[in-house]
Structure 1
Amino acid sequence: MQPRTLLITNDFPPRRGGIETFCYEMARRMPGADGGGVVVYTSRTEGQEEAERRFDGQQPFPVVRDTSRMLLPTRRVARRAAELLDQHGCERVLVGAAAPLGLLAGGLRDAGARRIIAMSHGHEVWWARVPGASSVLRRIGEKVDVMTYLGDFTRDEIGRALRPVDRERMARLAPGVDPKAFTAKGDGTPVRERYGLGEGPVILCACRLVPRKGVDTLIRAMTWVRQAIPNARLVVVGSGPDEKRLRRLASWAGVGEEVVFAGSHGHDEMPSFYAAANVFAMPCRTRKAGLEAEGLGIVFLEAAASGLPVLVGSSGGAPDTVRHGETGFVVDGREPRPLATKLVRLLSDPDYAKAMGQRGRERVLKEWTWDMSAERLEELFRAA
């Protein structure tokens, strides 16, 4: 009989985001996922009740929505998680984001969990650097069997908060891409027609609109890009609290007509946006004395799988997603002029950009697929 797994997370579709995608792709690839091999315990999103019901009903595994909008390691949540563990006969637990839900590990162990893995992403770096929060992260490291990391950056930062013995039990678990969904042969015509992009070169950025992502630097860079390539357009996919400021900036910089704010779109809609683009750029930067940094960035991998050259900001683990000068460039997310120079070079030489994108896709196929990630997770669960 295959072991059953309880996934506990606040980050699950139909919410949109990198962690949500990560959790979902792991859940649906777990052994026996289509026959009760996995149970998801997650929170609700206000105003999204109908979308959540539709999504949950389409899954081959049960999705249990808590009454709260955010799961926290309270007694009530701990009790409910233990009930689900027993009700569904789960022996394994996957915590979608280590902090703070990893604090549930002790109670779940008492309830019968034999192996507990907590995934870390970018936000645990903040926990590791803040004195009070770092002690919480340290306790989580003591309670779980494995705390995962995305790459060297997150391993080193999070590891500083852990005991040496717990640091030794950390293991790499990186996200991936479905290379069949994100392909260099996609059709971008519908997106180009919908937003009136014409036949000119398109720069794509997809992210949550917050200052850390560096969209403002990209908008400023467009003033120089347009001087060299007048018909170039920038398409920004996503929403967030920084949107109004970014729209004002585009207008002030004189590129309001050249920057298209496309809003938020579902993950299944993104391949057509990549297909409509010539270059992908998200010049993320580290902020707040290092407390805000990019953990990795699934969008960089999706863009590479789609055959695009990729420009990433030199923040946190984001540079791991490209080979500088081969599949894209690592840039300073605070400097628009050098960013513009790289964009002009790629847009003015399609053959050069295409070759770079092809190398990026080849790398994704070798190193960054969801099947590889799922196999790695299963290895970690089976290790004793």
Structure 2
Amino acid sequence: MPRTLIITNDFPPKAGGIESFVHEIALRRPEGSVVVYCSSPAPADAAADPHFDLHQPFPVVRDAARVLLPTPRVAARARAIADLEDCDSVVYGAAAPLGLLAAGLGERTPVERQVAISHGHETWWAALPGPREALRRIGETTDTVTYLGEYTRRRLARALSPDAAARMRQLAPGVDIDHFRPGSGGEEVRERHGLGDRPVVVCVSRLVPRKGQDTLIRAWPRILADVPDAALLIVGDGPQRQRLRSAARGMDSVVFTGPVPTRDLPSHYCAGDVFAMPCRTRRGGLEAEGLGMVYLEAAACGLPVVAGDSGGAPDTVLDGRTGLVVDGSLPGPTARALIRLLKDPDRAAQMGARGREWVRRRWTWDHTAQRLDALLGGSQGHSADRP
């Protein structure tokens, strides 16, 4: 059976979006067809699940280093693993920088296809002179550099040669629509936080400046003027926790849940009537939303979404059909969009239903697995795959 070597720094038990993405695609490859070569987890991550590697349905080869870099030593070990395991394809869990290993692996191993997966952070590589040249080399030496959505495709293509840009194909994380679904326990979350049957706006995200929870809080008095019984449920944790709590002081209708386990996220989405994360681009364009899986998870739970216009976030929303896209840098557009949806629950419900159907049709893990299978099998899809 053809076998694939996945080389990555982003792998459980370390938690994170990229880690989940790489793990999910590994799990969805045919049995016996995957080997993972990855860095060692931090002690705290390893302690959380010390037997993680043993429970996987594929071999996991851990390097002693905490971070794999495209060095001669790492290249030699990757070649040895590819030879020993008879791997005919390589997937780089993050295109940059490990995709720089591609030239050596392609020349000295039986590897026939190499796919470099981008997750959004590569867009800033495309914007800076030195990293841009490295990204260009990755594009030249791999068969495909993937992209999340139209925004990341455009940004990455500027750094690649015309030939490499033409070989780019979409590969985005998927949504488990059996896990993220309407009726997932929102009533219990409402009861726990004293929300009753009030109209609820929910935001699920890490508490960092780019995500726009501060914009929601700034917009909240305007929303209450039109929808006085509304509540705002902010789910998650992060470095902006105290600053956001201070900004919301005196607003009893703003509720912070703190960190929530991944398994409990569907019930928190379902506690809301509308999902909102008015993300914004920062640092001169270097800090932007790569895609925004929370919008798709919320849509899968049947919620209309209000998304900021940062980076690839609009790729997750059919504007006016599954939700609304707003300028996340200002509170006014966010307030107006939320008032429209909260005051028209029938329209909001229709948007939510269309959103779940859209996720089912093109954003599931089955779609992701099929796309990767096509890339590794030699068929690179077609432009109709673009959102």
For the superposition of Structure 1 and Structure 2, which TM-score range results when normalised by the shorter chain?
over 0.9
CA distance in structure 2 between the partners assigned to 1:186 and 1:357 by the alignment: 15
The answer to whether structure 1 residue 361 and structure 2 residue 374 are counterparts is no
Partner in structure 1 of residue 305 of structure 2: 310
Contact 1:36 1:62 (8 Å CA) reproduced: no
Q: CA deviation at 1:48?
A: 1.6
Q: Where do residues 93-112 of structure 1 align in structure 2 (5 Å cutoff)?
A: 93-109=90-106, 110-112=108-110
Q: Structure 1 residue aligned with 2:176, among 162, 175, 178?
A: 178
Q: CA deviation at 1:137?
A: 0.7
Report the 3-state secondary structure (helix = DSSP H, G, I; strand = E; otherwise coil) of the residue aligned with 1:162.
coil
Report the 3-state secondary structure (helix = DSSP H, G, I; strand = E; otherwise coil) of the residue aligned with 2:276.
strand
- Structure-2 change in CA distance of 1:239 and 1:297 (3 Å): same
Moved more, 194-203 or 374-383: 194-203
Q: Where do residues 74-93 of structure 1 align in structure 2 (5 Å cutoff)?
A: 74-93=71-90
Partner letter of residue 166 of structure 1?
Answer: A
Partner in structure 2 of residue 338 of structure 1: 333
Contact 1:18 1:297 (8 Å CA) reproduced: no
- Structure-2 change in CA distance of 1:351 and 1:182 (3 Å): same
Q: Structure 2 residue aligned with 1:41, among 38, 46, 54?
A: 38
Moved more, 169-178 or 301-310: 169-178
- Structure-2 change in CA distance of 1:241 and 1:354 (3 Å): same
CA distance in structure 2 between the partners assigned to 1:40 and 1:362 by the alignment: 36
CA distance in structure 2 between the partners assigned to 1:266 and 1:68 by the alignment: 28
Partner letter of residue 6 of structure 2?
Answer: L
Quick one: percent identity of the two aligned structures? 56
Partner letter of residue 28 of structure 1?
Answer: L
CA distance in structure 2 between the partners assigned to 1:93 and 1:74 by the alignment: 17
Unaligned runs of 5+ in 1: none
Q: Deviations over 1:64-84 (max 9, x none)?
A: 333333322233333333333
Q: CA deviation at 1:153?
A: 1.4
Partner letter of residue 284 of structure 1?
Answer: C
CA distance in structure 1 between the partners assigned to 2:220 and 2:285 by the alignment: 27
- Structure-2 change in CA distance of 1:305 and 1:20 (3 Å): same
Moved more, 17-26 or 113-122: 17-26
**Superposition misfits of 4+ residues, deviation over 4 angstroms:** none
Q: Structure 2 residue aligned with 1:121, among 119, 122, 129?
A: 119
Partner in structure 2 of residue 20 of structure 1: 19
Q: CA deviation at 1:141?
A: 1.0
* TM-score (ref. length: structure 1): 0.92
- Structure-2 change in CA distance of 1:66 and 1:178 (3 Å): same
- Structure-2 change in CA distance of 1:113 and 1:195 (3 Å): farther
Cα RMSD, aligned residues only:
1.9
Contact 1:9 1:43 (8 Å CA) reproduced: no
CA distance in structure 2 between the partners assigned to 1:38 and 1:79 by the alignment: 16
Partner in structure 2 of residue 221 of structure 1: 219
- Structure-2 change in CA distance of 1:131 and 1:179 (3 Å): same
Q: CA deviation at 1:136?
A: 1.0
CA distance in structure 1 between the partners assigned to 2:295 and 2:366 by the alignment: 18
- Structure-2 change in CA distance of 1:338 and 1:242 (3 Å): same
CA distance in structure 2 between the partners assigned to 1:241 and 1:72 by the alignment: 28
Q: Deviations over 1:344-384 (max 9, x none)?
A: 22222222211110011111111111101110111011117
CA distance in structure 2 between the partners assigned to 1:76 and 1:266 by the alignment: 37
Partner letter of residue 161 of structure 1?
Answer: A
Partner letter of residue 10 of structure 2?
Answer: D
The answer to whether structure 1 residue 148 and structure 2 residue 146 are counterparts is yes
Q: Deviations over 1:301-358 (max 9, x none)?
A: 1111110001111111111111111110001111112211211222222222111100
Q: CA deviation at 1:276?
A: 1.3
Partner in structure 2 of residue 167 of structure 1: 165
CA distance in structure 1 between the partners assigned to 2:158 and 2:269 by the alignment: 37
Q: Deviations over 1:250-298 (max 9, x none)?
A: 22xx32x333332333332211111211111111111111111111111
- Structure-2 change in CA distance of 1:205 and 1:71 (3 Å): farther
Aligned residue pairs: how many?
378
Contact 1:214 1:283 (8 Å CA) reproduced: yes
* TM-score (ref. length: structure 2): 0.91
Partner letter of residue 84 of structure 1?
Answer: I
- Structure-2 change in CA distance of 1:247 and 1:360 (3 Å): same
